[in-house]
Structure 1
C-alpha cells in the first residue's frame, strides 16, 4: 500500500478558524486570516469543536494518491459519500501483463489457502486475457476480474469528513485493509494540523466505544484533553 498526501489547504487550522470567526466579526475573512494570533486560532477551534459546530471544518480539504490497494477496499471507501474520487478505470485501462493481487495475511499465511488464491487469481486473469484475444471489449472482459485486483485512486475529503472517516475506519473492528489505509492517512494529516487531528481516530480515543456490545474490548490509549 502506497498512500501519499498530494495537496491540502494551506494553513488549514487558520483557514478554518477565520471562516468560523467571520460569523461574529465585522472584519472580512482575509483580514482575519492575517490578524488572528496562533492562540486565537486554537481558541476558536476549541470552541467550534467542543460545541459541535463542525461546518467550518469543511473549509479545509486534503487530497491523497492511493495505490497498491484492492478493489475490495475501494468498494468500502467510496461509501463515504462526502468525498471526491477518481479511480483507475477497468473499462478504459487494458491489462496486458498480470496485475498485482492483494492477498490477505490470513490467506497468505495458510499454505492451502494461498495456493487456492493464486490458482483463482491466475485463472481469472487468464480468462480476461483470452476474452480480449477473442475481441471482447475490456469493459466486458473485466467482469471476471476479482476484488483482489490492485487499483489506484485519488481521494479528496474535507476535515469534517476525514474525522468521521477516521472514527469509523481506524477502529480495530474495521476491515484490516481499509483500517491500514485510514491509519496511514491519519499519520499524513496530523503534522499539517496537529490541533485538529490530535485525538482523531476511533471513538475510544476520546471516550466510550461507540460499538456497544460489538466492542473489540481493546481500546486505543485515550488522547490527552485538548488545551
Structure 2
C-alpha cells in the first residue's frame, strides 16, 4: 500500500518538496530519523532541553458555571473530572501522624452497626473492631510520614495508606452518562457509600431533567442488582 511520506516527519508541513510516495515502513523510518511521531493529526517532537525550577505552588481552576467550561487561549477547557491524589494532599495524613488532627479527619470508617455483603451475608461491625481499625490507620499514617522523611517518593509511600483515606473529587455528567452511572451504582447491592452518594444526587437529577427522572424512577431506579 502506497502512502504519502512527510520527509521531515511534520504532517503539517504541506510544502510539495516535503511530499513523496512511500510505504508505511518508510513513514516509520522517517519518524524515527526525525524523532517525531504523528498521532491523530498532532506531532510528537523530541525534547530539546529540561530546566529545573524547584518546587512551586500550582493551582487548578474550577468553574462554578453549571457547564464547567471556560476559554483558555481560544480553546474550550472543561474540568470534567478532578480528584485529589494522595501525593497532593498528604498533609492531612501527616497531621494525623503528628497528633495535630483527629484520625477521622483523614480516614473514613463506617459507623458501628449491622451490615451485609453483596451476597446478603450479615455481619456486625463492633466498636472494638472500629477502634482497632482506627489505630491501624494511625500506624499507617506514622509509617507514611517516616517514609517521606527518609526520602521515599509520595507515589511509593502512599502504598501504606488505607483505601479509606478521605478524598475530594469533582465530576460532571451529561444525562446519558449520569443514568448509566445510576444504573451501576444505585442498585440494591452496590457498595453502601456509593448508594448514599446516589441518594444525595437524585434530587438534583429530578430538578435538572424532571420528565426523564420520573420515567427512570418508575422503570429503572434501584431495580437492578450487581452480579455476585
* Larger RCO of the pair (alpha carbons < 8 Å, separation 6+): 1
User: Kindly tell me: are residues 212 and 87 of structure 1, through their superposed partners in 2, closer, same or farther at Cα, counting changes over 3 Å?
Assistant: closer
1:174 to 186, 190, 198: 190
Aligned position for 2:144? 128
Match of 1:97 in 2: 95
Q: 1 CA distance for matches of 2:227 and 2:152?
A: 50
1:87-134 CA deviation, whole Å, 9 max, x = no partner? 101123332312421111357951221121111101110100111121
For structure 2, the residue ranges without an aligned partner over 5 or more in a row are: 1-63, 69-78, 97-104, 114-123
Partner in structure 2 of residue 8 of structure 1: 66
Q: Deviations over 1:62-83 (max 9, x none)?
A: x8xxxxxxxxxxxxxxxxxxxx
Partner of 1:162: 178
Compute the displacement of 1:202 (Å). 9.0
Question: Taking structure 1 as reference, are residues 212 and 132 closer, same or farther at Cα in structure 2, changes over 3 Å only?
Answer: closer
| 8 Å contact from structure 1 (residues 85, 154) kept in 2 | yes
Q: Distance in 1 between matches of 2:148 and 2:189?
A: 40
The verdict on how the C-alpha distance between 1:213 and 1:156 changes in structure 2, with shifts beyond 3 A counting, is: closer
Q: Is the 1:166–1:200 Cα contact (8 Å) retained in structure 2?
A: no
TM-aligned CA deviation for residue 167 of structure 1: 2.1
Task: State the TM-score, normalizing by the size of structure 2.
Answer: 0.51
Aligned residues: 137
Q: Deviations over 1:122-172 (max 9, x none)?
A: 111010011112122222211101111000111111100111111221222
Contact 1:124 1:146 in 2 (8 A): yes
Q: In structure 2, what is the equivalent of residue 222 of structure 1?
A: none
- How far residue 211 of structure 1 moved from its aligned partner, in angstroms, is 3.7
CA-atom RMSD in angstroms: 3.3
Any stretches of 5+ residues in structure 1 without a counterpart? Answer: 1-5, 11-62, 64-83, 215-227
- Seen in structure 2, the aligned counterparts of structure 1 residues 104 and 203 have a Cα distance that, compared at 3 Å, is farther
Would the alpha carbon gap of residues 132 and 205 (structure 1) be closer, same or farther in structure 2, given more than 3 Å must change?
A: closer
TM-score, length basis structure 1: 0.51
Q: Which has the higher helix share?
A: 1
- For the pair shown, the structure with the greater C-alpha radius of gyration is 2
Q: Distance in 2 between matches of 1:123 and 1:203?
A: 47
